[in-house]
């Protein structure tokens, strides 16, 4: 937080922390301001005084300031994988799955809110792309070209390949660790190898 940004009061901090917990657990639509106020030990009027509305509270949680703090964490963590040089494309995929799994487990409440609410709040999507997406996509595009030049990936539009890899990895991780953690999953190793095999079948050139 910069010197130009007002410091949060203890009550504001309590409201934001409680709302983050409840939004992550029950979703934005399933959480009432009355419930937030009760759990944060403040009046409902205090919430409206500081945040104007429930939507205002949501935007305070995932505000540009928060995204600016959160984005470097995501980039730095993902760079741990992207800055390595893997001989085979499949090893990169395994490393990315393991990396994203650890990151999501360590940042579950905020990520749960983003996953649940981005489809319904376009401004959240715009913030996410602005602070996280562009740099990462450019770096991944260079890596895709590296494996294409080695003959390990098909000659296909790089954006299409990125979307295919990202959707395969994220759909598994989000389902397993955020949306359906109690489902009857196989071991992480088996599930990871299935994703690698699916991507091999669609993206690796056939001899």
CATH 3.30.200 fits 63-203, yes or no: no
pTM tops 0.75: no
pLDDT band for position 154 (50/70/90)? very high
Name the CATH superfamily, with its identifier, for domain 10-61: Homeodomain-like (1.10.10.60)
Whether the per-residue pLDDT at 36 is higher than 70: the answer is yes
Ranges of each domain in the chain: 10-61, 63-203
pLDDT > 80? residue 202: yes
Q: DSSP readout, the chain?
A: --TTSPPPPHHHHHHHHHHHHHHHHH-STT--HHHHHHHHTS-HHHHHHHHSSHHHHHHHHT-HHHHHHHHHHHHHHHHHHHTS--SSHHHHHHHHHHHHHHHHHHTHHHHHHHHHHGGG-HHHHHHHIIIIIHHHHHHHHHHHHHHHHTTSS-S--HHHHHHHHHHHHHHHHHIIIII-TTS----HHHHHHHHHHHHHHHHSPP-
């Amino acid at each position: 937080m910069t010197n130009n940004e007002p410091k949060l009061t203890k009550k504001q901090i309590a409201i934001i922390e409680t709302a983050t917990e409840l939004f992550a657990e029950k979703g934005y639509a399933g959480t009432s301001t009355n419930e937030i106020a009760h759990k944060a030990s403040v009046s409902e009027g205090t919430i409206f005084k500081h945040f104007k509305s429930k939507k205002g509270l949501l935007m305070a949680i995932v505000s540009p300031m928060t995204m600016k703090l959160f984005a470097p964490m995501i980039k730095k963590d993902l760079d741990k994988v992207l800055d390595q040089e893997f001989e085979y494309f499949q090893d990169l995929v395994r490393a990315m799955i393991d990396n994203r799994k650890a990151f999501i487990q360590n940042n579950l409440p905020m990520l749960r809110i983003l996953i649940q609410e981005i489809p319904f709040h376009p401004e959240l999507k715009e913030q996410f792309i602005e602070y996280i997406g562009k740099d990462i996509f450019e770096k991944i595009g260079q890596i895709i070209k590296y494996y294409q030049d080695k003959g390990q990936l098909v000659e296909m539009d790089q954006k299409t390949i990125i979307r295919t890899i990202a959707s395969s990895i994220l759909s598994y991780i989000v389902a397993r660790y955020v949306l359906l953690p109690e489902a009857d999953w196989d071991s992480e190793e088996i599930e990871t190898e299935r994703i690698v095999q699916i991507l091999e079948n669609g993206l690796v050139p056939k001899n």
